[in-house]
Homo-oligomer: A and B are copies of this chain.
């Protein structure tokens, strides 16, 4: 059905080599030849078959983006930037979801049928990363948002300790003193929440304060639901906080709703801040104070690092730190949006 190199060659009365040269924009082709071949190409509506090309070259031009769930706002915003950056670099992006299934995460990492298609993978770890230790994924791999692991993989992430420190310092600067946090993970081997707790604790210590263990609540899935329940528990607890630092914006959205449902008010009674800067927070009521991550930066550098490693597999592992910015809004008492 679809025209092939051979069809074009036949029609133009030349060899397939010549046609291939024209298609590939090879330097040494006479303009006469080029025009003739091009006409045959146009007449037949010829399109190179990418699969054949890829079998031959060994490249698929496909990147995998593995996230827990694509409909979590942070991941969909990140996906948007990754697809944009990859497209510019000549790659397609296939999205895979691990759900909250650690076994599935493991399968996606090893050489399953699926992953053999990829030239490389951008991986947003689920809850832990130990699954990766000693594993050979069979293709270049970039970790997004998680640093641990043996040093075999490139990674791109913000400085989580500093980001958490900044968020906490902001709450303290408002005069709040009874701080709580939401977002630790039962899984001790997941680095991000540990780092955020460390930043939280350090900022408190710098102000001569400390948080009781029960003021730092776990959240399994970083969902609005999790945030809601954790905040409700804090409010119902012995020492209700006057400010809550949530380890994600989604947790914060749930927490804010819980505050109001308990008859209290944000930010008057309890100030709330998150991390991620998802779009939802800008128009929420109150608008959500947060730490903004530069997802475009993360995507650009992740794709660049991956592309480099695809070309040169034994490059030393890169460790890119992405910038972050404190964005105070109404949920910590900063008044109207622009």
A contact residues vs B (CB 8 Å cutoff): 2, 45, 47-52, 54-55, 60, 62, 69-71, 73, 75-77, 79-80, 83-84, 92-97, 111, 113-114, 116-117, 138, 224, 228, 253-254, 256-257, 260-261, 279-280, 282-285, 336
Task: Give every chain B residue within 8 A of A84 (Cβ-Cβ).
Answer: 97
What separation, in Å, do the CA atoms of A224 and B285 have in the docked complex?
Answer: 13
Q: What 6 A-B pairs have minimum CB-CB distances, sorted nearest first?
A: A76-B76, A71-B80, A71-B76, A224-B283, A71-B77, A257-B283
Nearest CB of B to A255, in Å: 10
What separation, in Å, do the CA atoms of A283 and B253 have in the docked complex?
Answer: 7
Q: Which of B55, B73, B111 contacts A71 (CB 8 A)?
A: B73
Known A47-B113, A94-B92, A253-B283; judge A70-B55 contact (CB<8 A): no
A93 near B92 with CB under 8 A, answer no
Task: Give every chain B residue within 8 A of A69 (Cβ-Cβ).
Answer: 80
B97 near A95 with CB under 8 A, answer no
What separation, in Å, do the CA atoms of A111 and B93 have in the docked complex?
Answer: 18
Per assembly, the copies of the chain total: 2
B60 near A70 with CB under 8 A, answer no
| Chain B minimum-CB-distance residue to A99 | B84
B70 near A70 with CB under 8 A, answer yes
A-B contact pairs, 27 of them (CB 8 A): A47-B111, A47-B113, A47-B116, A50-B113, A51-B51, A51-B55, A51-B60, A70-B79, A70-B80, A70-B83, A71-B80, A73-B76, A73-B280, A79-B95, A83-B95, A92-B94, A92-B114, A93-B94, A94-B95, A224-B279, A253-B280, A253-B283, A254-B283, A256-B285, A257-B285, A261-B336, A284-B285
Residue from the set A55, A62, A111 with the largest chain B CB neighbour count within 10 Å: A55
| Chain B minimum-CB-distance residue to A136 | B45
Nearest CB of B to A41, in Å: 13
Task: Give every chain B residue within 8 A of A254 (Cβ-Cβ).
Answer: 283
What separation, in Å, do the CA atoms of A75 and B71 have in the docked complex?
Answer: 8
| Chain B minimum-CB-distance residue to A286 | B285
Task: Give every chain B residue within 8 A of A257 (Cβ-Cβ).
Answer: 283-285
Task: Give every chain B residue within 8 A of A256 (Cβ-Cβ).
Answer: 285
Q: Which of B75, B92, B285 contacts A117 (CB 8 A)?
A: B92
| Chain B minimum-CB-distance residue to A52 | B55
B60 near A71 with CB under 8 A, answer no
Residue from the set A52, A94, A138, A254 with the largest chain B CB neighbour count within 10 Å: A94
